[in-house]
Amino acid sequence: MGRSVGFKIVIAMMAFAANSVLCRIALKGEHIDPVTFSDLRLMSGAVVLLPLLLRREGKKQGVWSLKSGFFLMAYALCFSLAYIHLDTGTGALLLFGVVQLAMVAHGLFHGERLSFSRATGLGLAVAGMAALLLPGAKAPPLGSAVLMALSGLAWAAYTLCGKRSPDAAQATAANFILAVPFALVLSPFISQGAHFDGIGIVLAILSGAGASAGAYVLWYSLLPRLESVAASTVQLSVPCLAMLGGVTFLGESLSLRMAFSTLAVLAGILLVIKAPGQKIRH
């Protein structure tokens, strides 16, 4: 894998983690309700990315996808609704565990090979995640667990759709724009009372216009270069990075177990993306 690709992956994963920290502050602090947060997140992302669709040069056909817009909305909305009722570890494990399983299954079904090195790396990354997130986690409410699993399936589907995107920037802009009406139509039926303050609004906008919009353009540009197994495995770094962000920005404690688990996850990711036989274009 080229250095530029690896650097872009690191930036995308850090942005995903930053997005998790913003969501955690907003929802756990009750600065805003989850439905309003998701709506503002998608709308602000759409506004920021709209100029990418208005430019004349470089326009390509096929950037509009109702499926991708729906999957993006479903991921954001289900995640916010579930997150308010789940502790951080359980929620992250459910989300990225489902993403991992769905994308690995898709890759294997479409002929990607799981060599010994890649299987070892995958197992090491999953074990690191389990060691980091499972201890002390309470059994999640069934409804919230289902919502988080649906969010993981939606993100996996959204990611896989991106592998066929002809233009990463314009496709991401179109996806955000299409996701907004889906969200606004569903919001009145699932909202249990909107509430927000200035902090909640700012966090939602930062999440959508910054951590989401920019990172998703970058992620879509990387997907054609990664196999499904590798694309799913690198995302397992996000909960680890988010917890490290919590230590830095939220004053959470950093345990020895967290440090070793993070090293296990990152080592597993390295084994997967460095394994021979991957279909990566430089």
At 156-193, the pLDDT tens digits run 999 888 877 778 888 999 999 999 999 999 999 998 88
State the CB neighbour count (10 A cutoff) for residue 281.
8
Mean pLDDT of the chain: 82
197 or 234: which carries more pLDDT confidence? 197
The token duo for 143 is 């409804």
Q: Give residue 90's pLDDT band: very low, low, confident or very high (50, 70, 90).
A: low
How far is residue 79's CA from residue 154's CA, in Å, rounded to a whole number?
10
How far is residue 93's CA from residue 90's CA, in Å, rounded to a whole number?
5
Give the closest residue to 78 by CA, choosing from 18, 20, 155, 24: 155
Whole-structure pTM value = 0.83
Alpha carbon of residue 267 to chain centroid:
20
**Of the listed ranges 96-110, 159-173, 185-199, 268-282, the one predicted with least confidence:** 268-282
**Of the listed ranges 87-96, 140-149, 180-189, the one predicted with least confidence:** 87-96
223 or 150: which carries more pLDDT confidence? 150
Q: Is 47 exposed, middle or buried (0-12, 13-18, 19+ CB in 10 A)?
A: middle
E-strand ranges in 69-145 read none
Name residue, tokens 């991992």: 100
**Of the listed ranges 61-75, 159-173, 224-238, the one predicted with least confidence:** 224-238
